[in-house]
Amino acid sequence: MDLSRLFQDHIATMTKRASATLAETGFDALVLGAGTQMVYYADDMEPPFRSNPHFASFCPLKGPHHAIVVKPGSKPRLIRWAPKDYWYERAPFAADFWTSGFEIDEADTAEGVFKKTGALGRAAFVGDDTAGAAAAGLTLNPEALIKRMDWDRAIKTAYEVECLSRATVAGAKGHTAAREAFLAGQSELAIHHAFVKGAGCTDDALPYPTIVCLDAKAAILHYHAKRATGSGRLLLLDAGVSDLGYGCDITRTSAAPACDPKFKALIEAVDKLQLELCAMVKPGPSYIDIHLEAHRKIGAVLVGQGILKCSLEATIEKGYTSVFFPHGVGHHLGIQVHDIGGRQKAREGGVLPPPPGHPYLRNTRVMETGHVFTIEPGIYFVEMLLEPFRGSQDFNWPLIDQLAPYGGIRVEDNVLVTAHGHRNLTREHLPN
Ligand code: GLY
Ligand code: MN
Ligand code: MN
C-alpha cells in the first residue's frame, strides 16, 4: 500500500472534518498540542510519552510540545518542537511519507512553539498544556468541539485502517512466536519476551501491557504479573503492537496437549461463537445487539457443555451468563486501545448508556461504515463471581471445579465495518 497517497487523503479528510467542526462551534482556527511529558512525583524519571490522541490522528510525529494549526482553507501547519539538547537522540527533521501534508516550522522551546502559531482570530486549543495555551490567548478544550472530534474519530480513514493492518502484521508474528514458546513449556515472562521479539518491537511500542496468563491466571482479566514458571496447560495471551500510533488488540487462548479435553472443547466453542458474532457486523444495527447475542451464545455453550444445569431461558433470565462473561464484548479501537466516543449519542454529544446489567460495555453506538472495534467474548471461572451461587443447583459444581484450574478463555479480533458487512483485520494475519 502506498502510505503517502493514503496519508494525503487522510489529512484532507481530517482538515475537512476539523473545518466543519470549527464552523459549527464558532472558531476560526484549531491548535492541537502534542502534549507535555509527565514526570513521576518527587522524581526525575518519566513514563514513556504518549501524544494527545487528537494530535496523533493528524500526524504520526512522536514526542511532546509539537503543535498543529488547522485553519479552514489553508494547508495545516506543523510547528515541530526541536530542542537544543544532547541527552536524547534529536534526529534532524527528515522528509517522510506524511510530511508533504503540512507547512512545517520549528521552535526550540514549548513557548516558542505557541509563539509560532501566530495570529489566529478566535482559536480553540485541544491538549494538556493549558497554561501555555491560555498565555497564547487560545480557548481551552471547548467541549462542543471536542465531542465532534471524538465522534468523527470513530470513522477510520483508509490510512488509519492500513496503520491498524500493519500493526496487526507485527501483532500476529508476536502471537505466533508466543504460542510456540508456550507449547515449548516456557514461563509467562519468557512468553512475553517471545511476543516482543516476534513482533520486532520494544516495550514502548505496546499499546497496553501484555496480558500473559498460564492456567488459573487466565481468570484475571487484566493479569500483568508474569510470575508463573513454565509447563502451563493453557495460555491466554492478550497482546498488541502499535504502528504509526495505531495499535491492534488481539487475544488468543491456546491449549497444550495436557489440557483437559472438556476445556479444549470450551475453547473451540468460544472461537466458533466469536466468528459468528463477527459475522453480525454490518452498518445499521446497534453494537449492543452483538453484546446481547454474545450472552445468548455463551449461555447456549454453558448449558450445552453441562456447566449450567438449567434451561437456556432460565440462564438468560437469571443473568447467569454474566457470572462467566463479566465484561463487554468489545470497544472501539484506533490510536487508543479503548478508543474514544464509544458511548456517545450524537456528533454534538450526549451519552448512550449500556443496557441495565451490562455496566462494562464500552460501545453502545449504531455500527457505521468505517468503525473499527474489537469482538472479544470470553468464558471465565472467577471464584469471586461464582461464590455467591455456590448453593445453587443450577450450577454443575463438580464440572466447574474441574475446569476452574484452567482459568478462562477469551478470543479477540479487530473488525472493520464495511459498506456491506465487515473485514476481520486480525484473521487475515492470524487465522486461529
Ligand atoms: N487488552 C485490553 C482489552 O482487550 O480491552
Ligand atoms: Mn480489547
Ligand atoms: Mn485485549
> Which CATH number covers residue 39?
3.40.350.10
Residue 383: inside a domain, yes or no?
yes
> Is 49 inside a domain boundary?
yes
Among 106, 138, 153, residue at a domain's last position: 153
Closest C-alpha to ligand 1, atom 3 = 249
- Kindly state whether residue 275 falls inside one of the protein's structural domains: yes
* One domain for residues 40 and 12: yes
Task: Give yes or no for residue 208 having a pLDDT over 90.
Answer: yes
pLDDT higher than 90, residue 302: yes
* Grid cell digits, residue 110: 514549548
Residue 89: per-residue pLDDT: 86
Torsion of CA 254, 256, 258, 264, to 10 degrees: 30
The number of folded domains in the chain is 2
- Neighbouring residues of the ion ligand 3, judged by CB less than 5 Å: 238, 249, 251, 412
What percentage of the chain has pLDDT greater than the value 70?
A: 100
Last residue of a domain, one of 153, 188, 209: 153
With the most atoms of ligand 1 within 8 angstroms of its CB, the residue from 221, 237, 238, 253 to mutate is 238
Q: How far is the CA of 416 from the centre of ligand 2 (A)?
A: 14
Measured in Å, residue 360 CA sits from the centre of ligand 2 at 12
Q: What is the mean pLDDT of the chain?
A: 97
Assess whether 343 and 389 both reside in one domain: yes
Question: How high is the pLDDT of residue 90?
Answer: 84
Please check whether residues 198 and 273 belong to one and the same domain.
yes
120 and 37 belong to one structural domain: yes
Q: Record the pTM.
A: 0.97
Shared domain check, 165 and 219: yes
Atom of ligand 1 nearest to the CA of 374: 4
Q: What is the pLDDT of residues 158-207, one digit of tens each?
A: 999 999 999 999 999 999 999 999 999 999 999 999 999 999 999 988 99
Decide if 178 is inside a domain: yes
| Region 407-422 average pLDDT | 98
- Expressed in angstroms and rounded, the spacing between residue 392 Cα and the centre of ligand 3 is 32
Query: Is residue 19 domain-shared with residue 134, that is, in the same domain?
Result: yes
Burial environment of residue 283 by CB neighbours within 10 A (0 to 12, 13 to 18, 19 or more): middle
Q: Is residue 432 part of a domain?
A: no
Burial group, residue 280, by CB count within 10 angstroms (0-12, 13-18, 19+): middle
Give residue 224's identity as a one-letter amino acid code: H
The answer to the question of residue 216 being in a domain is yes
The arithmetic mean of pLDDT across residues 286-315, rounded, is 98
172 and 302, same domain (yes or no):
yes
Q: Is residue 288 domain-shared with residue 399, that is, in the same domain?
A: yes
Question: Mean per-residue pLDDT for 296-315?
Answer: 98
Q: Is 249 in the pocket of ligand 1 (CB under 6 A)?
A: yes
pLDDT at 380: 99
The set of cell numbers assigned to 283 is 452498518
Find the 83 Cα to ligand 1 centroid distance in Å: 36
pLDDT of residue 228: 84
* CATH code, 256: 3.90.230.10
Same domain, 313 and 195: yes
Domain boundary among 133, 153, 173: 153
Residue 180 maps to a domain: yes
Considering the domain architecture, whether residues 211 and 284 belong to the same structural domain is answered as yes
Q: Is residue 431 part of a domain?
A: no
CA of 239 to the centre of ligand 1 (A): 8
Specify the ligand 1 atom closest to the Cα of 376. 4
**Ligand 1: nearest atom to the Cα of 208:** 1
Mean pLDDT of 220-249: 96
Best substitution site from 210, 249, 411 to test ligand 1's pocket, by max atoms within 8 Å of Cβ?
A: 249
For the CA of 330, the closest atom of ligand 1 is: 5
Measured from the CA of 338, which atom of ligand 1 is nearest? 5
Q: What is the pLDDT of residue 126?
A: 98
Q: According to the 3-state scheme, what is the secondary structure of the chain?
A: CCHHHHHHHHHHHHHHHHHHHHHHHCCCEEEEECCCCCCCCCCCCCCCCCCCHHHHCCCCCCCCCCEEEECCCCCCEEEEECCCCCCCCCCCCCCCCCHHHCEEEEECCHHHHHHCCCCCCCEEEECCCHHHHHHCCCEECCHHHHHHHHHHHCCCCHHHHHHHHHHHHHHHHHHHHHHHHHHCCCCHHHHHHHHHHHHCCCHHHCCCCCEEEEHHHHHCCCCCCCCCCCCCCEEEEEECCEECCEECCEEEEEECCCCCHHHHHHHHHHHHHHHHHHCCCCCCCEHHHHHHHHHHHHHHHHHHCCCECCCHHHHHHCCCHHHHCCCCCCCECCCCCCCCCCCEEECCEEECCCCCCCCCCCCCCECCCCCEEEECCEEECCHHHHHHHCCCCCECHHHHHHHHHHCEEECEEEEEECCCCEEECCCCCCCC
Cα first-last separation, the chain: 25
Ligand 1 atom with least separation from CA of 251: 4
238 CB under 6 A from ligand 1?
A: yes
pLDDT of residue 54: 98
Task: Report the b/e string of 289-327 with b at 16+ CB within 10 A.
Answer: ebbbbbbebbbbbbbebebbbbeeeebbeeebbbbbbbb
Cα 338 to ligand 2 centre (Å) = 7
Return the pLDDT at 68.
98
Pocket test for ligand 1, best of 251, 253, 362, 372 (most atoms within 8 A of CB): 251
Helix axes 261-278, 287-304, angle to 10 degrees: 160
- Closest to 236 (Cα-Cα) out of 260, 206, 256, 212: 212
Show the domain range for 303. Answer: 158-424
**How far does the centroid of ligand 2 lie from the alpha carbon of residue 208, in Å?**
10
For the Cβ of 208 lying below 6 angstroms from any atom of ligand 1, the answer is yes
321 C-alpha vs ligand 1 centroid, how far in Å? Answer: 20
Residues 149 and 292 in one domain: no
Q: Is there a single domain that holds both residue 226 and residue 342?
A: yes
